[in-house]
Amino acid sequence: MVTLGCARNEVDSEELAARLESAGWQLGDDDPDVIVVNTCGFIESAKKDSIDTLLAAADSGAKVVAAGCMAERYGAELADALPEAAAVISFDDYTDIGGRLDDVLAGRPLKPHSPRDRRTLLPISPVERAKSTAHIPGHGSLAALPEGLAPASGPRTLRKRLSGGPVASLKLASGCDRRCTFCAIPAFRGAYVSRQPDDLVAEAVWLAGEGVRELVLVSENSTSYGKDLGDLRALEKLLPRLAEVDGIDRVRVSYLQPAELRPGLLDVIAATEGVAPYFDLSFQHASGPVLRRMRRFGDPARFLDLLAQVRERAPEAGVRSNFIVGFPGETEEQFEELVGFLTEARLDVIGVFGYSDEDGTEAASFDGKLDPDVVAERVAALTELAEELTAQRAEERIGTELEVLIEEDLGDGGYEGRAAHQGPEVDGAVTVQGIGLLPGQIVRAVAVDSEGVDLIARIKAGS
């Protein structure tokens, strides 16, 4: 099983792994009969990486199955363009993935699907939507599984961990109900469907039993959680329940929409013990006219006010965001407005992406496309600024006390971990100087230096 793309895909792969083992398949890296590549289809570079990975897997001599977002998004078109793949499967195939691989191994051809807009697949009723999740990745029901996939007693979660370590993602929902003009995800992931709170708590208990100490809540838009269940405060209620799970030391929420971050949710994230004061805010731009063309909301004043509210409640909160540069019609003045916003915002992590047309999106038909060289110049300029600003933000944290989750022993008295303001993989890390620390342990340390977005810290005396 090879997983590309985001944390949502990682959870999907772990669901597929559980289904495969329950169907009699064995996962391993040595001389596989079949390689399943869980692809990403979000942007052009991700699609290229998916194709390269599929081709490399085919060179191994194993039969290759393309799954995931790119496979779902292109279906028969991908199968025609990539004869090296033995099969291109849809999300609808996930519930019987073992049977699909049986067919592949036996040489029985699988007819590739014709992609369609998944937003039209679910019933209108919120209750019916919540029930109609069999075809949706990440919505495996609690089920009896073979030994080794779940605890010996209690609810059995349809998931098998594919990597160790004290951090794991927990998928809140699948799909998205927003209509951002640059994004194709809603069409191939479908309408937003929240998982039931009790199922999420049960999975958190199982993950804690697997050695997980930090849960990272993921979805296409976490601030929408519970809307389809008829409860706008569902995430506010869920977070304290997850934080109280025995063995879970930290709960982190990702993918927050600024326009939907209600004061009550802000309070819970900022002030609940066991919930990281961490705000992954999807700003995308700062210019009001550009945001409206993206079918999003906000402007520098509103965004800076939101950041002020965050820091009033949690002065050391971590804040990250991503930005699209060169959106159709973006003027030099609007780009400079974004530059000015970032200079004032004091974000811990800034992701910069150049706009490119995506198949099936509204923005692909917009006038005012910028010359690719102009887009590249703006990306380079904003990336350079972002690196400078985030390094300055890390320097501001020197001298502050951190709660660091240890993830790896680096040897020679050094350990790598992450503080509460740092999300996994993309937000930098903390190198802790100490003796006898263990992965999964949370230690108090003081930041003594920084390198870019990374920090160097020493164990606090007496901790």
Per the annotation, binding residues for [4Fe-4S] cluster are 6, 40, 69, 176, 180, 183
Q: Which of 347, 320, 345, 455 is nearest to 401 (CA)?
A: 455
Residue 200 has which token pair? 């999420």
Q: Which residues are annotated as a binding site?
A: 6, 40, 69, 176, 180, 183
Q: Which residues touch 81 (CB under 8 Å, ≥6 apart)?
A: none
Give the span between the Cα atoms of 87 and 409, in whole angstroms: 41
Residue 316 has which token pair? 């050391």
292 CA to centre of own chain: 25
Give the span between the Cα atoms of 215 and 208, in whole angstroms: 9
* Dihedral sign for Cα atoms in the order 211, 214, 217, 223: positive
Which residue in this structure is represented by tokens 């390689």?
35
The Cβ of residue 26 has, within 10 Å, a number of other Cβ atoms equal to: 8
CA distances (Å), origin 338, targets 10, 79, 298, 321: 32, 41, 12, 13
